[in-house]
């Protein structure tokens, strides 16, 4: 009997994830007869030594009773716990209150929480499909998320669930019961760096106007004007590239010294406050500066959102100055619609998108630190498009956590080093090293140092997808 497309989809995504972040033996075990997706009633009555994942447990719109479980030197956060099966012979592992597994005396394992429901909802943007709230740019922001209310935005739920399954497979095969530790089965975490090149010359009208406004804005509150902005107006009037274009070369040199690479998303097309501040002018020179092995993609202009003519025009203009075919991109202002944008973008040849992130908070919008194929819920089919959600944005983590920003980054990376995953970090050139924003100075360098300390592997979004595809063809 063939499985519903939703189940086949999730099975594929878990398999892809295992290929990137776990030892090959784990992938083989998961893809064998050891793991089966079943209706709940079949799962609890099968009485075979397998992992049975129920796929028909209803899911509530609000995460229910999150709980924490110690696992492989870190703590997992799970929600939507399922009750211990009513029939005899089931015990909870590690305990009834915080179950990772329910184990039948015949050896069957079922997850202690609604694994399928949670992951499917996260990967298919179920949370925002249930909400009508959108901000002035038409975005579903973190503030509207039910997970935000429960403090779950920084939980890579997909990675945690996959890690539990991986340890379950290994334990079941070796000892007949699940391991609670991954030992050497998990690979080093991945750091995936990217840069949205919104502003490359600091002397454009809008950047200078915002600074001028900042000078006088305190007067409205009877405060002293912020005269320091005059310095930045003057500095960029004389040297437009300083702290913007020049920072691109600085970031590349810095990444190179760590053995890392990154992707640059280039913004062209319509000018304006929300549009391309510098137009196409700096892009040919920028492309010469970006080394061959670094990635280049399109930063979809604000007004191209679901507008075929404008998108086609921006794409064609950018393609005319880039010597590689553009297949990856991210939306300016992270403006996208999960129901329509992916099929829209795929018409133009975009295969890898990095738009799924929050601008107001850091966190895993799809509960995944990694990548996944997009699923069209209305047509019940997988789209030819990969999403690599953006987790951390430069100013967001600093605004949210201030001086603790690096501690938070470090904790999140450490967590991924225990369970496997990819941390995606977006840094704008203007936020990398710019005395106008002193709170940002040194943050990127420290992020790279911490990643090196945890022996992170550097992969761009496109490289991650290629690794998965290569492992399939191998």
Partner 1 sequence: MTEQDILVRLVEDSEMQACNLFHNKLYKKSRSFEQWQWEFKSNLYNSSSVPFAVAVNQGQIVGTQALIPIRMIDRTGVYWTAKSEETLVDPQFRGNKLFERMYTVLFNYAKEHNYVNIWGFTPAAKAFTRLDFSISARTEQLFIPFSQKAISMLLAKGTSGTQSTIKRSLRNIVAHAGGRIAQSVAAFKISMQRRVKLTGLKLENICDPTDETAEVCQRFIDRWGGRTIYRDSNYFKWRFFTNPYVRSNIAGIFFEKELLGWVAFSLGDDGMGYLIDLMVNGDESRISTESLVRELLLEAVIRTRNMGAYGIRSWHVNEHPFDRIVTRVAKKVGFFHIKRGHAFVLYDCDGGSSRSAADNFNEWYITRAFTQGLHG
Distance of CA 374 to the CA centre of its chain: 13
Q: Between 246 and 436, whose beta carbon lies closer to partner 1?
A: 246
From CA 139, how far away is CA 137, in angstroms rounded? Answer: 6
Q: What's the min distance (Å) between Cβ of 437 and partner 1? A: 12
Per-residue buried b or exposed e for 338-374, using 16+ beta carbons within 10 Å of the residue's own CB: beebbebbeebebbbbbbbbbbbbbbbbbbbbbbbbb
Q: Between 95 and 446, whose beta carbon lies closer to partner 1?
A: 446
Selected from 58, 253, 325, 474, the binder of partner 1 by CB under 8 A is 253
Q: What's the min distance (Å) between Cβ of 294 and partner 1? A: 12
Q: Between 180 and 431, whose beta carbon lies closer to partner 1?
A: 431
According to the binding rule CB under 8 A, does residue 439 interact with partner 1?
no
Selected from 61, 257, 380, 466, the binder of partner 1 by CB under 8 A is 257
Q: Closest by alpha carbon to 376, among 9, 3, 19?
A: 9
Q: Between 39 and 442, whose beta carbon lies closer to partner 1?
A: 442
Q: Between 5 and 250, whose beta carbon lies closer to partner 1?
A: 250
Selected from 12, 98, 146, 249, the binder of partner 1 by CB under 8 A is 249
- Torsion angle, alpha carbons of 50, 55, 57, 60, to 10: 130
Per-residue buried b or exposed e for 152-191, using 16+ beta carbons within 10 Å of the residue's own CB: bbbbbbbbbbbbbbbbbbbbbeeeeebbbebeebbbebbb
According to the binding rule CB under 8 A, does residue 432 interact with partner 1?
yes
Q: How many residues bind partner 1 (CB under 8 A)?
A: 22
One-character DSSP codes across 42-60: HHTT--SSSEEEE------
According to the binding rule CB under 8 A, does residue 442 interact with partner 1?
yes
According to the binding rule CB under 8 A, does residue 449 interact with partner 1?
yes
Q: What's the min distance (Å) between Cβ of 282 and partner 1? A: 15
Stretch that binds partner 1, among 55-63, 177-185, 252-260, 394-402 (CB under 8 A): 252-260
Q: Closest by alpha carbon to 157, among 359, 465, 7, 363?
A: 363
Q: Between 289 and 321, whose beta carbon lies closer to partner 1?
A: 289
Strand partners, 91: 103
Q: Which residue bears the tokens 């784990």?
A: 26
Q: What's the min distance (Å) between Cβ of 254 and partner 1? A: 5
Give, as ranges, the residues between 110 and 169 that touch partner 1 (CB under 8 A): none
Q: What's the min distance (Å) between Cβ of 438 and partner 1? A: 10
Q: Between 166 and 252, whose beta carbon lies closer to partner 1?
A: 252
Q: Between 90 and 258, whose beta carbon lies closer to partner 1?
A: 258
Distance of CA 216 to the CA centre of its chain: 38
Q: Which residues contact 364 (CB under 8 A, 6 or more apart)?
A: 153, 154, 155, 156, 157, 158, 389, 391
Q: Which residues contact 391 (CB under 8 A, 6 or more apart)?
A: 357, 362, 363, 364, 369, 412, 423, 424, 425
Selected from 25, 68, 75, 453, the binder of partner 1 by CB under 8 A is 453
Q: What's the min distance (Å) between Cβ of 216 and partner 1? A: 28
C-beta separation of 330 from 300 below 8 A: yes
According to the binding rule CB under 8 A, does residue 316 interact with partner 1?
no
From CA 204, how far away is CA 176, in angstroms rounded? Answer: 65
Stretch that binds partner 1, among 80-88, 164-172, 245-253, 325-333 (CB under 8 A): 245-253
According to the binding rule CB under 8 A, does residue 256 interact with partner 1?
yes
Q: What's the min distance (Å) between Cβ of 257 and partner 1? A: 5
Evaluate the CA torsion angle 363, 365, 368, 372 in order and state its sign: negative
Question: In the complex, which residues of this chain contact partner 1 (CB under 8 A)?
Answer: 246-247, 249-251, 253-254, 256-259, 291, 432-433, 435, 441-442, 444-445, 449, 453, 455
């Amino acid at each position: 009997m063939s499985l519903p497309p939703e189940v086949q989809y999730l099975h594929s995504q878990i398999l892809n994830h295992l290929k990137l972040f776990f030892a090959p033996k784990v992938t083989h075990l998961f893809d064998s007869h050891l793991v089966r997706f079943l209706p709940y009633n079949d799962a609890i009555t099968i009485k075979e030594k397998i992992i049975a994942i129920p796929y028909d447990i209803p899911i509530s719109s609000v995460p229910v009773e999150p709980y924490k479980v110690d696992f492989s030197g870190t703590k997992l956060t799970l929600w939507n716990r399922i009750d211990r099966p009513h029939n005899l012979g089931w015990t909870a592992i590690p305990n009834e209150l915080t179950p990772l597994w329910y184990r039948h005396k015949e050896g069957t394992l079922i997850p202690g929480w609604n694994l399928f429901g949670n992951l499917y909802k996260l990967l298919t943007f179920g949370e925002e499909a249930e909400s009508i709230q959108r901000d002035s740019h038409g975005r579903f922001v973190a503030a509207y998320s039910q997970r935000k209310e429960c403090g779950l935005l920084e939980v890579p739920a997909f990675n945690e669930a996959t890690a539990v399954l991986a340890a379950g497979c290994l334990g079941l095969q070796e000892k007949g019961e699940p391991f609670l530790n991954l030992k050497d089965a998990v690979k080093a975490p991945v750091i995936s760096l990217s840069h949205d090149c919104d502003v490359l010359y600091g002397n454009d009208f809008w950047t200078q106007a915002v600074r001028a406004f900042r000078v006088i804005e305190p007067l409205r509150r009877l405060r002293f004007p912020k005269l320091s902005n005059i310095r930045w107006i003057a500095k960029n009037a004389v040297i437009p590239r300083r702290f913007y274009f020049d920072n691109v070369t600085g970031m590349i040199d810095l990444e190179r010294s760590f053995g890392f690479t990154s992707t640059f998303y280039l913004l062209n097309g319509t000018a304006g406050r929300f549009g391309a501040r510098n137009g196409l002018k700096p892009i040919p020179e920028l492309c010469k500066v970006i080394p061959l092995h670094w990635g280049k993609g399109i930063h979809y202009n604000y007004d191209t959102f679901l507008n075929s003519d404008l998108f086609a025009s921006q794409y064609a203009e950018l393609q005319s100055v880039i010597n590689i075919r553009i297949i990856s991109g991210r939306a300016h202002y992270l403006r996208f619609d999960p129901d329509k944008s992916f099929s829209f973008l795929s018409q133009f040849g975009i295969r890898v998108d990095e738009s799924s992130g929050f601008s107001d908070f850091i966190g895993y919008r799809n509960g995944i630190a990694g990548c996944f194929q997009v699923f069209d819920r209305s047509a019940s089919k997988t789209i030819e498009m990969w999403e690599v959600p953006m987790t951390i944005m430069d100013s967001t983590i600093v605004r949210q956590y201030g001086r603790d920003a690096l501690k938070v980054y470090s904790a999140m990376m450490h967590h991924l080093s225990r369970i496997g995953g990819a941390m995606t970090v977006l840094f704008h050139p203007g936020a990398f090293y710019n005395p106008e924003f002193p709170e940002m100075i040194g943050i990127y360098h420290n992020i790279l140092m911490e990643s090196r300390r945890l022996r992170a592997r550097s992969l761009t979004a496109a490289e991650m997808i290629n690794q998965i595809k290569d492992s399939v063809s191998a």
